[in-house]
């Protein structure tokens, strides 16, 4: 009897919410697992986009499986960056605008190693969801070796304007919130489009 190839998830893989997955950069050994998720969008939080020149195998896998490749440019090291983190708030908001709309789901978000960069975006998503700081940072530490003061300050200071298409918003974004709470978010402004 032939044993089928095992499904091998990417490093630091996890389910964030329904139809939202996170982890490290998918390698060829992970393709069968990624395919099993039936993702529609691969959101790369990396210095360079996935192209035939940068990663022919991942590009070909995505094209063959009708997976949309989206790139949001992020550094992989906070060194020399403002606030000591690899991105700014506009970058996080760009990523969140993909994450919170059903048209892109199921979605897999990744950086190179599934650590700091992906964790910062997920932590800001949790701020958007009204999670407490302690819950956010407990989740954060599960995917990184440590959390820096710069990481904490970045997440706690997260602010900006988020455009929401109410007819396409993911169901899990504000489960259990009373009407009026979201409009009074202390750090974020929401515009319905």
Task: Please identify every residue annotated as catalytic.
Answer: 111
Give the orientation angle of helix 116-128 with respect to helix 133-141, to 10 degrees.
160
Distance separating alpha carbons of residues 139 and 132, to the nearest angstrom: 11
As beta bridge partners, residue 172 has: none
Structure tokens, 137: 């940072």
Distance separating alpha carbons of residues 11 and 100, to the nearest angstrom: 24
Do 61 and 32 meet the contact criterion of CB atoms below 8 Å apart?
A: no
């Amino acid at each position: 009897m032939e044993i089928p190839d095992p499904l091998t998830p990417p490093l630091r893989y996890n389910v964030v919410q329904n139809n939202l997955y996170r982890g490290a950069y998918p390698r060829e050994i992970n393709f069968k697992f990624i395919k099993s998720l039936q993702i529609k969008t691969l959101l790369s939080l990396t210095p360079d986009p996935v192209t035939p020149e940068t990663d022919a195998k991942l590009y070909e896998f995505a094209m063959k499986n009708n997976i949309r490749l989206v790139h949001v440019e992020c550094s992989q090291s906070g060194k020399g960056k403002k606030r000591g983190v690899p991105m700014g708030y506009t970058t996080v908001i760009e990523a969140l605008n993909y994450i919170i709309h059903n048209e892109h789901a199921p979605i897999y978000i990744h950086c190179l190693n599934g650590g700091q960069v992906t964790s910062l975006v997920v932590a800001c998503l949790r701020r958007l969801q009204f999670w407490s700081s302690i819950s956010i940072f407990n989740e954060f530490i599960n995917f990184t070796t440590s959390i820096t003061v710069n990481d904490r300050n970045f997440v706690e200071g997260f602010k900006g304007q988020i455009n929401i298409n109410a007819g396409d918003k993911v169901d899990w974004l504000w489960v259990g919130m009373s009407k009026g709470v979201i409009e009074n978010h202390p750090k974020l402004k929401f515009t319905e489009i």
